[in-house]
Amino acid sequence: MTIDLHTHSTASDGTDTPAELVANAAAAGLDAVAITDHDTTSGWAEALAALPAGLRLVRGAELSCLSPDGRGGHCNVHLLAYLFDPEAEAVVGNQARVRAERRNRLATIAGRMAADGLPVSADDLLAGLPPDSTAGRPHIAMALVRAGVVSTVDEAFARYLNDRGRYYVSSSRTPVEASIEMIARAGGVTVLAHAFAHRRGPTVTAEVIKELAGVGLNGVEVDHPDHDAEARSQLRDLADDLGLITTGASDYHGTNKVIRLGEETTSPEMLDAIIERATGVEIVTRS
């Protein structure tokens, strides 16, 4: 059983359309895949319509959140949300607001770069986004690649788009406790994404994860490409102590990252635990 519970499509900052994503997941030999675009469910319908026979589809999203960091400050975290009701009013409102703010942010970053003579246009970038999709820095990175300014998305981040770069603008964030409660009320299951990915920037402490478990967090993503062996073993021990679900996933972004579908995986028992707790929408398979 190969189960990959964290992937992105063109509904956010991946490069596969939702239809291509599920086709590629089947071709990669996956038995189950989750579509988890940043702050949107707009890829769900296309992924569902194109679902190849035998592949189980877990509909989800990855929410941009702000968390206490456990050291008296705050840090950005990503919350994976699975099988929630996409029409729950709070979810619709929250995601629409986050997406609108992220489009404004994309325009601000692109405008600053254009003012410095870089060949990016905020209007062109926004016009190129699918409806209800989520704008992110990778869209600017891809524009820089297309313009020949850099040769890869990674190089664009290293030279222009990283959090310490001169063009960086922080993005809209929802408090993680509120997001956990919102998804629980919408019948979904929450898993904290890449919580100890230290190379991405400041991370939460184990104490914070314990507090989040107290407000209803269901699981932690353990096997993630940005987690080293120490991070994985710390998270696994913590999940054991707290009775949390543990997952593994590639965080596939198509050609924007080098990770393959199914490179990290979740056990069938853990997927069953997610399905058991969820009451929003069902996991889908076509015969």
Whole-number Å distance between alpha carbons of 253 and 251: 6
Q: How far is the CB of 38 from Fe ion (least distance, A)?
A: 6
Residue 243 to residues 73, 101, 128, 216, Cα–Cα distance (Å):
26, 36, 43, 12
Report DSSP letters for 79-144, one per residue.
EEEES--TT-HHHHHHHHHHHHHHHHHHHHHHHHHHHTT-S--HHHHHHTSPTT----HHHHHHHH
Is 251 a binding residue for Zn ion by CB under 5 A? The answer is yes
Closest residue to Fe ion in the complex (CB): 78
Please name every residue paired with 58 in a beta bridge, in sequence order, or none if there are none: 34
Is residue 253 within the footprint of ligand AMP (CB under 6 A)? yes
Instruction: Select from Fe ion, ligand AMP, Zn ion, none the partner in contact with residue 226, using the beta carbon and a kind-dependent cut-off of 5 to 8 Å.
Output: none
Q: How far is the CB of 136 from ligand AMP (least distance, A)?
A: 3
Q: Does 6 bind ligand AMP (CB under 6 A)?
A: no
DSSP classification of residue 275? H
Measured distance CA(178)–CA(65) in Å, rounded: 9
What's the DSSP call for residue 222?
A: E
Taking CB under 5 A as the rule, does residue 78 contact Fe ion? Answer: yes
In angstroms, what is the minimal distance from the CB of 37 to Zn ion? 8
31/64 with CB nearer Fe ion: 64
Of residues 99 through 138, those in contact with ligand AMP by CB under 6 A are 136-138
**Min CB(101)–Fe ion separation in Å:** 16
Count CA atoms closer than 13 A to 265's CA, side-chain side: 15
| Residues touching ligand AMP, count (CB under 6 A) | 11
- Of the residues 171, 174, 247, 266, which one makes contact with ligand AMP according to CB under 6 A: 171
Rounded Cα distance between 263 and 2, Å, is 9
Binder of ligand AMP out of 154, 181, 211, 263 (CB under 6 A): 154
Binding site for ligand AMP (CB under 6 A): 13, 136-138, 153-154, 157, 171, 253, 256-257
